[in-house]
Amino acid sequence: PDIPAINFHITNDHLGEGGAKAKFRANMDAIRVLKELEFDERNATPEEQEILSQYVGWGGLAAAFDENKASWAEEFRELYTALSPEEYAAARASTLNAHYTSPTVIRAIYDAVGQMGFETGNILEPAMGIGNFFGMLPDAMRNSNLYGVELDSISGRIAQKLYPNAEI
């Protein structure tokens, strides 16, 4: 059956919380779902979108890329085999600069924009990661056109599955 293209709405204020191993697990679960969706050439179900939304990128997870770090040996093997060489290189390179914007900051920005009178129009999210700004879009702004840009392949592809009605 066809799965409708519905943009994900974030209701969890605890995105990106947890220790390094929990973040690693969330990332790997999201990558597994992404690759299944791409193989099946279909939209994500709401349950799959929930898993995808937990992806936090590789900032602060450099240990997962260290083949000599015994406490991360299993994670290293899992990561190395799950990604293509290009994906692996990009993920490893992002460990120093990948980060996400917290729900508190996103809400404050939308509150400020709303107080300035914005209700609907074009919204651009450059360097969007997986698109948390789109996911926290206030109901009053839901009729806006969403445009996103992301250089990291995995993050951008996850964003496409989370926000199929946006141009990414």
The model's pTM is 0.92
Asked whether 27 and 58 are in contact (CB, 8 A), the reply is yes
| Domain annotation covers residue 15 | no
Per-residue pLDDT, 87: 94
Per-residue pLDDT, 67: 92
| Domain annotation covers residue 136 | yes
Cα–Cα distance measured from residue 139 to residue 154, given in angstroms and rounded to the nearest whole number: 28
Q: Domain check: are 41 and 81 in the same one?
A: yes
Q: Note down the domain range covering 110.
A: 103-162
Q: Domain check: are 80 and 28 in the same one?
A: yes
Q: Domain check: are 114 and 89 in the same one?
A: no
Per-residue pLDDT, 1: 62
pLDDT truncated to tens, each residue of the chain (168 aa)? 688 899 999 987 777 788 999 999 999 999 999 999 999 999 999 999 999 999 999 988 999 999 999 999 999 999 999 999 999 999 999 888 877 788 889 999 999 999 999 999 999 999 999 999 999 999 999 999 999 999 899 999 999 999 999 999
Q: Domain check: are 119 and 67 in the same one?
A: no
Q: Domain check: are 31 and 91 in the same one?
A: yes
Can you list the alpha helix ranges (DSSP code H) found in the chain? 20-40, 46-52, 73-82, 85-93, 103-115, 132-135, 153-162
| Domain annotation covers residue 24 | yes
Q: Which of 11, 19, 87 is nearest to 53 (CA)?
A: 11
Q: Domain check: are 42 and 88 in the same one?
A: yes
Q: Domain check: are 82 and 26 in the same one?
A: yes
At 87, the amino acid letter reads E
Domain end (from 96, 124, 150) = 96
Per-residue pLDDT, 29: 98
Per-residue pLDDT, 25: 97
| Domain annotation covers residue 63 | yes
| Domain annotation covers residue 11 | no
Q: Domain check: are 71 and 86 in the same one?
A: yes
Q: Domain check: are 56 and 85 in the same one?
A: yes
Q: Domain check: are 91 and 111 in the same one?
A: no
